[in-house]
Every structure is written in structure tokens, then in C-alpha cells.
Copies of this chain bind each other. A is one copy, B any other.
Amino acid sequence: MKVAVLGFGTVGVGVYEMLGKANGLEQGPVLVRPGKKDAPFKVTSIEEIVNDPTVGAVAEVMGGVEPAYSYAAAALQAGKHFVTSNKALVAAKGPELDAIAREKGVAFLFSAACGGGVPFLHNLALARESDSIRSLGGILNGTTNYMLDAMQRLHLDYGDVLKDAQRLGYAEADPTADVSGLDALRKIMLACAVAYGVLPTDGLLHEGIESVTAADVAHFQSRGYTCRLIASGGKSDDGVYAYVEPVLLRDGAAECSVLQNFNMARYEGACAGSIVLIGQGAGRWPTASAVLRDLSGILRGEREMFPAALRRGEVDNSAARHSYYVRLPAELAGELPAASAELDGDVCRMITEPMAVSQMHFAAAELRGRGAEVFFAAVRE
């Protein structure tokens, strides 16, 4: 099967090279921007791909919702299988693309959009057919895991680890999507859609690591905790729950052995029990390998990652409750239900009574609206 590639950046180069060696797959044309055409296999117009009858599948690794969506829709309408690593595209337009793919009887797969090289969505899609998925989530952003790990093991400041991550290519020049938790949130949205047939939209909560300090990390560490940015999802009565927040884990928990920019995805099946998958969450070769696995899956007959009748739905996070570690200005300590608290100069570090996730996220937003510096993380005993 000849595969066209949309985009020839870090991942696109990897996909193109892997296509040259994979069983049953073949390098097709590569779409680049007009000024970037410097080789015969490159084309500059999507029509050259969509109208090429020798192209059986299209792999999109450009990123962004447009023009990726228009290209994807055109490829599927033309009866070509479509595979993507683009989580923004699938989170925004997954239901529309899935509908076209089903109508045309072609594949729409996107393993690489969640977990990079970790084969999470593929396994989730298979497991949900016979097992009831009770919950899912994990460490789904490698950039922030690299940063938290370096802060803890090398005792570095947030600003320094961010610069290191950018220098190593783990963080973008604008790191907002990673460090705010938005990237992990998009991934847990996709996982919920695959597992439950509900693509969550409104009501999502995400807290990142932008406000963590070296002093916070030293504080956790001295008490036997490791901080990780964790995405959590599952089935609630009326729909799904899905949120992202920093979590403090007891040393020895499996998440603590996930170092550097690795990802760890997990699901809990009623029958299978807890299934954990660990691997590189980003980078040229891990992400390209996930795109290639989807393409090999198409050759083996795989067509759908989303279940039939996928719908968009509101998130219901009301049942999720945790105790939180919160660092906030000492004069605001009375605003939260503290179970224990200690003063450290003009800041207070507290452990709260168990609180609804939404209550904690809203309280932090409100305090920040008043100019306060706040960091919080759920405590998992």
C-alpha cells in the first residue's frame, strides 16, 4: 500500500524513512509547502495526493486543525485510509472524520495522537469491545515529565529545566500547551472517546505545572513524595469525567519510576484489571513508529479506533475528590479547608481535607484572579 505523507518536519521525515522498510507499505508523495519542494517525491498541492489513484493511505503529521482537517476530509472522501498523529485535529474534528471514514469504508486511526510510541489507543479500542473500562489515564505528556523529573533529581529551578527541555527538543519555543496541561487534556479526551464513545467537550479541568517551584519539589521530596502530571478519565453516571492535574505519589508507586520524557498510560478493565503501558511519548522515531503501527494495522484489517455512534458530551467531574497539597500566600490560608498547614515565611503549605476536583480548580483560579501565587497537587496515598 502506497502511503502519502502530509508534512515533512521531525515526525514526517521519520514516517517517510520507516515506510521505506516496512512490510507491505511503500513511500508515496510527501506534501510540503510551496517553497519547500526540493526533491521529486515532494508535492505542493493536496490535489496531487487526493487524485493519485496509486495512493492507498494518507499519513498526516503537520499538526493544527486547518488545513489538516480539509486535507483529511478530502483524502477520506477520495476513499483513502487516513492516519494522523495530530491530537488537536482529532479532538476538534474526530467525530466528523470518523463519520466520513465509516461512510467510505476506509480506516481512520490516530494512535500517535495519544502517548506517542506507547500503543495506548489501539489497545484501548480492542479492550473496550469485550471488557468494561473502569478508568484510564496516566502520564501523557513527556515534556512536563522530563521537567518534573529533572527538578526532583537534579534540584533545578522551573526556568532552568524549561530551558533544558527546549534545548533538547522536548519543549516547543512556546511551551504553553505542554506546561498548562492542555496537551495531556486533549489526549485524555481522545482516550475517553475511544473507550466510552463520548468525546468530552465542556466542563474539562486542567492544571499544569507552570507554578511549581524548586521549594515545592524539595518539600514533597523530603516527605517521600514524587510529583507527576497525571491525566485522569473514566465513566460517570451521565457521561465521562476527565481532568489533568499534578499529583503527589508515594515513592515506590509505579509512576515514580517513569523518568525523563517517558509516558505511562494505563486503563483498568473490569476483567483485565490494571494494564499499564510505558514508552517514549514523543520524538521523531517513537511517534513515527506509532503512525507505522496504525498503517500496519490497516493491512491487518483494522479500520476504526472510535466506537460507532461517537458523540460529543459534557464532562461530569463532580464525583472525583482528593486531598490536595496547596502552596499559597499565608494570608489566604483560611480560604481552603486545611487538614494540616505549615507556614514558610509568607507562604503557607497545607494539605486540605478531601475536596471535589472542580472545587480545588475553581478555588485556585479565583485566588489567582486576585493576584495570588498558588500551586496545588492532588495527594495520592
Contact = CB atoms under 8 A, between A and B. Distances in A.
Give the oligomeric copy count.
2
A318 to B, nearest CB: 28
A272 interface: yes
Interface residues of A, number: 50
A280 B272 contact: yes
A118 interface: yes
A279 interface: yes
Contacts of A275: 117-119, 277-279
Contacts of A289: 127, 130-131, 269, 271-272
Given A22-B130, A301-B301, A273 B279 contact: yes
Interface in A282-334: 285-286, 288-290, 292-293, 295-297, 299-304
Contacts of A122: 123, 126
A207 B292 CA distance: 37
A252 interface: yes
A253 B123 CA distance: 25
A253 B292 CA distance: 30
A129 B22 contact: yes
A15 to B, nearest CB: 10
Contacts of A355: none
Contacts of A288: 271
Contacts of A270: 285
Given A119-B123, A254-B257, A21 B130 contact: yes
A78 interface: no
A379 interface: no
A142 B93 CA distance: 43
A256 to B, nearest CB: 8
A299 to B, nearest CB: 7
16 contacts: A14-B271, A24-B129, A117-B271, A117-B275, A122-B123, A123-B123, A126-B297, A127-B289, A129-B293, A130-B292, A131-B293, A275-B277, A275-B278, A276-B278, A300-B301, A301-B301
Given A117-B273, A129-B292, A271-B289, 8 more contacts: A119-B127, A122-B123, A126-B296, A126-B297, A127-B289, A129-B299, A254-B254, A276-B278
